[in-house]
Amino acid sequence: MDAELFRSRADAGKRLAERLLDYEGEDVVVLAIPRGGVPVGAEVARRLNARLDVIIPRKIPIPWNPEAGFGAITADGTIVLNQRMVKNLGLSKDEIQAIADEVREEIERRTREYRDDRPPTDVKGKTVILVDDGLASGYTMLAAIESVRKHNPVRVIVAVPVASSAAARLVSTRVDGMVALVTSERLPFAVADFYREWRDLTDEETVGYLRDA
């Protein structure tokens, strides 16, 4: 599959929303993963007339190869690790915790930036739809799922425009439902390859989407 499938994140979000209409009318909260998941989530929330908020999992990077990660952590300290990779890397528990603590500091900074003084949206008894612009390894989404589960939603759904086949298999076993418009076996897999317009969003743009919602 050589051609891009989505014009932009907004286009992807609109198309994704059409696959989620079964949840229209329910008590739904859309939690988007910044930054790229926020434009996608904004379209989903608008179509479903749902509240939009953010959840901020971040990968825990390999110290000598920071572009790669061996797990992910959320603001509340939820950690999900790729245990096979951890074993191969030979990292101790103390080393993992030290790296995770650094990542958590950045998560807390982003949380303040995006949410200001607003408390997190209460998801107890609600349907939570977790949205990102795509899943590569799936571990950041797993951390988001585990974090949300602690707050007793009635169900957790993951919705993404595109996912690697491996990530889709991994994530789908942890949720009550999953929608991925495209799954791909392509190696190497990059979410950006499925978008014609692809760039990093700024914090200011992310906040703008949340304010509009």
> Does 156 reside within a domain?
yes
Checking if the pLDDT of 3 tops 60, the result is no
Same domain, residue pair 172 and 72 = no
Tokens found for residue 53: 């908020």
Same domain, residue pair 191 and 126 = yes
Helix, strand, coil tally for the chain in percent (to 5):
40, 25, 35
Same domain, residue pair 75 and 178 = no
Q: Sign (positive/negative) of CA torsion 138, 103, 93, 65? A: positive
d(CA 25, CA 14) in angstroms, rounded, equals 17
Contact 33, 140 (CB under 8 A): yes
For residue 79, the enclosing domain spans 59-113
Same domain, residue pair 23 and 102 = no
Same domain, residue pair 34 and 50 = yes
d(CA 114, CA 110) in angstroms, rounded, equals 6
> Does 74 reside within a domain?
yes
Q: What percent of the chain has pLDDT over 70?
A: 98
Length in residues, the chain: 213
166: nearest Cα among 144, 130, 142, 202: 142
Alpha-carbon distances, residue 37 vs 62, 63, 85, 124, 192 (angstroms) = 23, 26, 26, 22, 13
Same domain, residue pair 127 and 202 = yes
Q: What is the pLDDT of residue 99?
A: 94
Tokens found for residue 18: 């059409």
d(CA 54, CA 131) in angstroms, rounded, equals 9
> Does 1 reside within a domain?
no
Contact 54, 33 (CB under 8 A): yes
Q: What is the pLDDT of residue 173?
A: 96
pLDDT-based confidence at 4, cuts 50/70/90?
low
d(CA 145, CA 56) in angstroms, rounded, equals 11
> Does 94 reside within a domain?
yes
What is the pTM assigned to this prediction? 0.94
pLDDT-based confidence at 2, cuts 50/70/90?
very low
Tokens found for residue 207: 């906040």
What are the pLDDT digits (tens) for 125-176? Answer: 999 999 999 999 999 999 999 999 999 999 999 999 999 999 999 999 999 9
> Does 145 reside within a domain?
yes
pLDDT-based confidence at 116, cuts 50/70/90?
confident
What is the mean pLDDT of the segment spanning 99-119?
A: 89
Same domain, residue pair 187 and 95 = no
Q: How far is C-alpha 156 from the geometric centre of its chain's CA atoms?
A: 13
d(CA 42, CA 17) in angstroms, rounded, equals 10
Provide the number of structural domains found in the chain.
2
What are the pLDDT digits (tens) for 74-105? Answer: 999 999 999 999 999 999 999 999 999 999 99
